[in-house]
Amino acid sequence: MAQEGIEHRKVRLKQILTLLDQEFPEPQIALLHRNPFELLIATILSAQCTDERVNKVTTKLFEEAPSPKSLAELPLKKIEKLIGSVNFFRNKSKNLKICAKQLVELHNGEVPSTREALVELAGVGRKTANVVLGNAFGKPSVVVDTHVKRLSNRLKFSRSSDPEHIEKDLETIVDKSRWIDFSHLLILHGRKYCKALRPQCEKCPIQSLCPSKIVRV
């Protein structure tokens, strides 16, 4: 089968977004936060961990350490105890403490609003930086997590397995004004319908526009 041209992908994507907008009229990030600092910490913790688990952990963590300074001063063992139920909590505890110290010493206790500065922080990669840029600062960013990666491949919007390459592929077909909520919509759709092991194609509202749909007889 011939590869779909970029203009056709753009048209199909707009049709998909129209349907997803109806399915998820108020898409937003699931991580609970009140400011850029809390979002940054929550996103670092969310790596290979559910948002529900992270939200339970951060409720107590932010009571103990509501600012970069207070988190930097918190003993490592105390941080480990507070986030002990998340995956890789020991490594994440070290990163949180170092990250908080970097915010205090390098950024006057503020979360930087550029990708270049964010990725220099402990525990922060491109995905985490894009989450913070889009959701804390309103800067258009495409977040490629496991759901977005899976759906981008299934919808044939990207044939790459590399998150940064997928991000670039999506930026070429998604209007910049939709970059932030586009990621939210794909994440929500992935959780509800287009699951990794058992995609619910029969119930999927965009199955007619999906090249990978499974039709069971």
| Rounded (to 5) percent helix, strand, coil in the chain | 60, 0, 40
CATH number at residue 174: 1.10.1670.10
Beta carbons within 10 angstroms of residue 214's beta carbon: 12
Any idea which residues carry the catalytic annotation? 127, 145
Per the document, the length of the chain is: 217
Task: Provide the residue-wise pLDDT of the chain in tens; the chain has 217 residues.
Answer: 457 889 999 999 999 999 999 999 999 999 999 999 999 999 999 999 999 999 999 999 999 999 999 999 999 999 999 999 999 999 999 999 999 999 999 999 999 999 999 999 999 999 999 999 999 999 999 999 999 999 999 999 999 999 999 999 999 999 999 999 999 999 999 999 999 999 999 999 999 999 998 765 4
> Structural domain of residue 94, as residue ranges?
36-137
- Do residues 86 and 18 share a domain? no
Give this prediction's pTM: 0.93
Sequence-distant (≥ 6) Cβ neighbours of residue 147 within 8 angstroms: 186, 187, 189, 190, 191, 194
Please tell me the distance from the alpha carbon of residue 179 to that of residue 210, in angstroms, as a whole number: 20
Q: At what angle do helices 146-154 and 179-192 cross, to 10 degrees?
A: 90
